[in-house]
Amino acid sequence: MYRIALQMLMGDKSKYTGLLAGISFTAFLVTFALAFFAGFMTQGFALVSENPSVDIWVMDPAVNSTEMTINIPASALSRVRGVKGVANAVPLSLNDVLARFPNGRFQTFQMIGVDDISLSGAPALQADLLPTMLYKPESVIVDAGGTSDKLQTPVYTKDKWPLDGVHLDIPTRPLAFADELLINDKRVVVAGVSRTIPRFPPRPLLYTTFSNVKRILPAEKKLLTFVLVSAQKGVSLHELAHRIEQQTGLRARTSADFKEDTVRWFLINSEDVGDITAMLVLAMTVGFGVTGIMLYMFTYENLKQYAVLKAMGAANPLLLKMVFVQAGTTAFAGAGIGIGLCALVGPLVSSFDFPFRLLWFTPLVGILGVLLVSLTAAAISSRPVLKLEPGMVFSGR
């Protein structure tokens, strides 16, 4: 009987194609929305991901994400270093600064101050350069941070540091080695350009040494944002984090826990979560509408075949199973097509720095969403079959 149900389904090619298209569209939208969510969450804790050697992040007790931070006293570094089980602890500074370009244009950067000695937290550079370039005085590394056309400097010398005002509508090129910027009227020199994990929200990044941060921001009393801890071998990270909290009064989180904290912060505070929820609701609604209508029309137009089967002794439970087999088959086929399209589109949108990441759970949730829509539509469309009277076969209706 199930074979007959599948022959009925695929025999009407136009409606079967319509069902596949509706379900594929639903699977694509659901999977794409979840991949977008996973992408911007991954970029949200990019600061943690680009420091894989760090075991524990120490911060102000009120900080619970990489997005909203506040600085702590410089003495916190020595206090953390004195905790038993800490192998190494280095500073990391986050500050938003306004940088002036040579033509007078200004741009907000997130300035990241790394340890002067180890350069822990510094990114890898393009053109095979090394982060040790930061050892040079006044040196900085710039990164687009997921933005486009934000790191542009004048092409011609006449437009650099002009005496007759700003030169905005001029030919520009991307920042490169030896270009200059002004931050707080302090000169900094570009030592290299990096391409780290894009940030969410996107923002240009500027890496420099912690001592250079002190030179650029002399009026700030507190410049230390995080203490990056490496644990001694054999020490439990969670126990060490608890010990740091007990002895310093600061908040200490393992890298994995800090990523989870950041994701939780975005879920609560980011407007993009609402946009993704709206996209998912829209996808489910459209999918339910298309699938429900198409499946109902298919079932209604095949009532005579169901009546014949019922007249031959097929009970309602068997007919109901046939309807659900048709819906389930279409759901799995459509889900495969939709998820496959999403996997093909993913690399394309990622090339434009769109936050897209197809993690293991995204296709699974896409399949579950499609199954929910399809089975609900099947339950509604099976109503005429259950009320069907076999006598209609002989009445000519």
What confidence score (pLDDT) does residue 385 get? 80
Least confident among 92-96, 179-183, 279-283: 279-283
Regarding whether 302 and 207 lie in a shared domain, the answer is no
CA 145 – CA 80 distance, rounded (Å): 30
Split at pLDDT 50, 70, 90, the class of 87 is: very high
Inside any domain, residue 263: no
Of the segments 121-130, 180-189, 195-204, which one has the largest average pLDDT value?
180-189
Residues 380, 332 share a domain: yes
Looking at the fold, whether 229 and 306 belong to one and the same domain comes out as no
Query: Are residues 97 and 231 located together in one domain of the fold?
Result: yes
In the prediction, which pLDDT does 395 show?
60
- The reply to whether 99 and 239 lie within a common domain is yes
**Domain shared by 110 and 21, yes or no:** no
**DSSP-based helix, strand, coil % in the chain, nearest 5:** 50, 20, 30
pLDDT over threshold 90, residue 314: no
Q: Please give the residue range of the domain that contains residue 147.
A: 73-249
> Alpha-carbon distance 29 to 281, whole Å?
10
Instruction: Between 8 and 135, name the one with better pLDDT.
Output: 135
Which residue has better confidence, 287 or 144?
A: 144
Cβ–Cβ contacts within 10 Å for residue 301, how many?
A: 11
pLDDT-based confidence at residue 391 (cuts at 50, 70, 90): low
Classify residue 53: in a domain, yes or no.
Answer: no
Q: What percent of the chain has pLDDT over 90?
A: 46
- Is 266 a member of any domain? no
> Is the pLDDT at 326 greater than 70, yes or no?
yes
Specify whether 18 is located in the same domain as 95.
no
Query: Does residue 127 fall inside a structural domain?
Result: yes
pLDDT at 76: 96
241 and 313 part of one domain: no
pLDDT tens, position by position, 188-247: 999 999 988 888 888 999 999 999 999 999 878 899 999 999 999 999 999 999 999 999
What pLDDT shows up at residue 188?
96
- Are both 327 and 365 inside the same structural domain? yes
362 and 240, same structural domain? no
User: Predicted confidence band at 127 (pLDDT cuts at 50, 70, 90)?
Assistant: low
Instruction: Specify if 58 maps to a domain.
Output: no
Rounded Cα–Cα distance for residues 153 and 104 (Å): 10
Residues 89/80, Cβ–Cβ less than 8 Å: yes
Same-domain pairing of 118 and 149:
yes
Mean pLDDT of the chain: 87
CA 382, 386, 392, 397 torsion-angle sign: negative
**What's the pTM?**
0.81
pLDDT more than 70, % of the chain = 96
More confident residue, 350 or 222: 222
**Residue that finishes a domain, picked among 216, 249, 282:** 249
Quick one: 244 and 291 in the same domain? no
Q: Please provide the distance, in angstroms rounded to a whole number, between the alpha carbons at the two ends of the chain.
A: 24
Radius of gyration of the chain (CA): 30
Phi-psi region of 217 (alpha: psi -120 to 50; beta: other; left: phi over 0): beta
Structural domain includes residue 52? no
- The answer to whether residue 68 sits within a structural domain is no
Q: Structural domain tally of the chain?
A: 2
- The two tokens of residue 136 are 């040079």
Residue 317 lies in a domain: yes
Domain boundary among 184, 218, 249: 249
| pLDDT tier for residue 248 given thresholds of 50, 70 and 90 | very high
pLDDT tier for residue 70 given thresholds of 50, 70 and 90: very high
